[in-house]
Amino acid sequence: MSRLYSLCLLGARCRYDGESKQNPDILEQWKREGGLALCPEQLGGLSTPRRPATLVGGDGCGVLDGKTAILNEEGRDVTENFLRGARECARLARLAGVTCAFLKGGSPSCGAVSTSIGWKRSPGEGVTAALLRRMGIDLTEVD
């Protein structure tokens, strides 16, 4: 079974604020079992640190369907960056035969159960999570 991990959960300082959200249990699991470790926002061409972003008008499924945008705190539309990162994660997951993913909760990219909608943590999926789920990959949200 091949796994995918949000890179920030392993201690990489790739979050929008230049920090990580290292989770000791997830890090130990990755050390034992291996797997892909990715940051969709970086893969989408966004810098670290970067302005925080939120979904506007829906969740990641809406972005994939062309009905929802992602704006940063300055009002800049970063939807294409998030889509590019999600697609690259999906491409790499397909190549690696990924069957499950451990993703950072609350993220507009990686949230599998909760994401940022209108600057509030809300039920729904981020863009990458939604695309991975559509591929049939089992998702686990980690805080």
pLDDT one digit per residue (tens) for the chain, 143 residues: 799 999 999 999 999 999 999 999 999 999 999 999 999 999 999 999 999 999 999 999 999 999 999 999 999 999 999 999 999 999 999 999 999 999 999 999 999 999 999 999 999 999 999 999 999 999 999 99
Domain assignment of residue 25, given as a range: 2-142
Determine the Cα angle at 100 with ends 3 and 52, to 5°.
Answer: 85
Q: How many helices (H) and strands (E) does the chain have?
A: 5, 8
Q: How far apart are CA 97 and CA 117, in angstroms?
A: 31
How many domains in the chain? 1
Q: What is the pLDDT of residue 111?
A: 97
Q: What is the pLDDT of residue 1?
A: 74
Say whether pTM exceeds 0.85.
yes
